[in-house]
């Protein structure tokens, strides 16, 4: 059975880096990769009441340019990523990125979205561009893996899974994390960042449940006493040179509290490891 992975691209260096990372991460599995380009029209804005029609000169020219870029991308992949386990598909469309992603996820039964991250205008201290933030917050149908700019693939040996133990865990929602760990022999380090060292009875129960779910992979539990969750995760990842961060995106406030732009600027954290947002 083929795993179906959706990779949006604007054909930038940053997007190409995400493509390469995805291909290398899943090199051992049979996969269908769906590359999606949401092309733009120079004379069209979202404020315009006139929607560009397929068949118009401007629309067809933009679509043709997108398709030409895909030809170049596939030629490059044929030279450097010739993997018989992988099948490639391309789609060029005019749409809002989130809507295009949701449509593809539904139509192709996508398992995972992988995308590059880029700060707004490469602003120092801003890890994620608006497209990545919107995608990680609004795509709830499947996990999203965000690859920071200039992060080249190396076999992940340690994945940090951040949790507060406040919600029940389900094997299904952790399946992608476990799959990656098994594929690459990676250890999962469960990290709880909190000012309170003592867990409630409910948290203890969920911690035991998590231990059972992770029983087939190398894992350990860690606690940091830190006022700010982001500071704790950052310090832990940097001190151990971990390869990936994962968390279950139950509520938007948790995602925002860790990766919002003001907080990222405050702690000066330059993301160097991929972030896996599970559902």
Is residue 187 scored above 70 in pLDDT?
yes
Local confidence band at 260 (pLDDT 50, 70, 90 cut-offs): low
**Distance separating alpha carbons of residues 261 and 130, to the nearest angstrom:** 10
**Max Cα-Cα span within the chain:** 65
- Mean pLDDT for the stretch of residues 240-265: 65
Is residue 109 scored above 60 in pLDDT?
yes
- Start-to-end Cα distance in the chain: 22
Distances (CA, A) of 110 to 17, 184, 227: 20, 22, 37
pLDDT value at residue 125: 40
**Distance separating alpha carbons of residues 156 and 154, to the nearest angstrom:** 6
Q: Which domains does the chain have, with CATH numbers?
A: 3-147 (3.40.50.620), 158-278 (3.40.50.620)
SS3 string of the chain? Answer: CCEEEEEECCCCHHHHHHHHHHHHHCCCCCEEEEEEEECCCCCCCCCCCCCCCCCCHHHHHHHHHHHHHHHHHHHHHHHHCCCCCEEEEEEEECCCHHHHHHHHHHHHCCCEEEEECCCHHHCCCCCCCHHHHHHHHHCCCCCEEEECCCCCCCCCCEEEEECCCCCCCCCHHHHHHHHHHHHHCCEEEEEEECCCCCCCHHHHHHHHHHHHHCCCCCEEEEEECCCCHHHHHHHHHHHHCCCEEEEECCCHHHHHHHHCHHHHHHHCCCCCCCEEEEC
Q: Which residues contact 132 (CB under 8 A, 6 or more apart)?
A: 115, 116, 117, 118, 146
pLDDT value at residue 46: 52
**pLDDT tens-place string over residues 88-106:** 999 999 988 999 999 999 9
Are residues 94 and 61 in contact, defined by beta-carbon separation less than 8 angstroms?
A: no
Is residue 121 scored above 60 in pLDDT?
no
Higher pLDDT, 229 or 51: 229
Higher pLDDT, 173 or 264: 173
**pLDDT tens-place string over residues 10-34:** 999 989 999 999 999 999 999 999 9
pLDDT value at residue 117: 78
- Mean pLDDT for the stretch of residues 172-200: 94
pTM of the complete model: 0.88
**Distance separating alpha carbons of residues 25 and 41, to the nearest angstrom:** 34
């Amino acid at each position: 059975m083929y795993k179906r992975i959706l990779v949006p691209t604007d054909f930038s260096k940053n997007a190409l880096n995400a493509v390469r990372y995805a291909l290398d991460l899943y090199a051992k599995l049979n996969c269908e990769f769906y590359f999606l380009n949401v092309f733009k029209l120079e004379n069209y804005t979202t404020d315009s009441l006139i929607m560009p029609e397929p068949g118009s000169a401007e629309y067809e020219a933009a679509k043709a340019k997108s398709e030409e870029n895909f030809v170049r991308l596939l030629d490059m992949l044929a030279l450097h990523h010739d993997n018989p386990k992988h099948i490639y598909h391309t789609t060029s469309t005019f749409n809002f990125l989130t809507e295009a992603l949701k449509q593809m996820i539904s139509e192709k039964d996508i398992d995972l979205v992988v995308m590059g991250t880029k700060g707004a205008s490469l602003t120092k201290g801003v890890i994620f561009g608006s497209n990545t933030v919107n995608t990680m917050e609004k795509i709830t149908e499947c996990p999203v893996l965000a690859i920071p700019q200039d992060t080249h693939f190396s076999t992940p040996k340690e994945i940090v899974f951040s949790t507060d133990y406040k919600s029940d865990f389900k094997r299904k929602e952790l399946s992608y994390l476990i799959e990656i760990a098994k594929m690459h022999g990676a250890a999962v380090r469960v990290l709880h960042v909190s000012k309170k060292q003592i867990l409630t009875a409910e948290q203890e129960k969920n911690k035991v449940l998590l231990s059972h779910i992770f029983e087939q992979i190398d894992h350990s539990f860690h606690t940091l006493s830190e006022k700010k969750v982001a500071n704790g995760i950052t310090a832990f990842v940097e001190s151990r040179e971990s390869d990936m961060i994962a968390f279950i995106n139950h509520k938007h406030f948790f995602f925002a509290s860790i990766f919002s732009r003001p907080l990222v600027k405050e702690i000066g954290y330059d993301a160097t490891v991929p972030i896996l947002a599970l559902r």
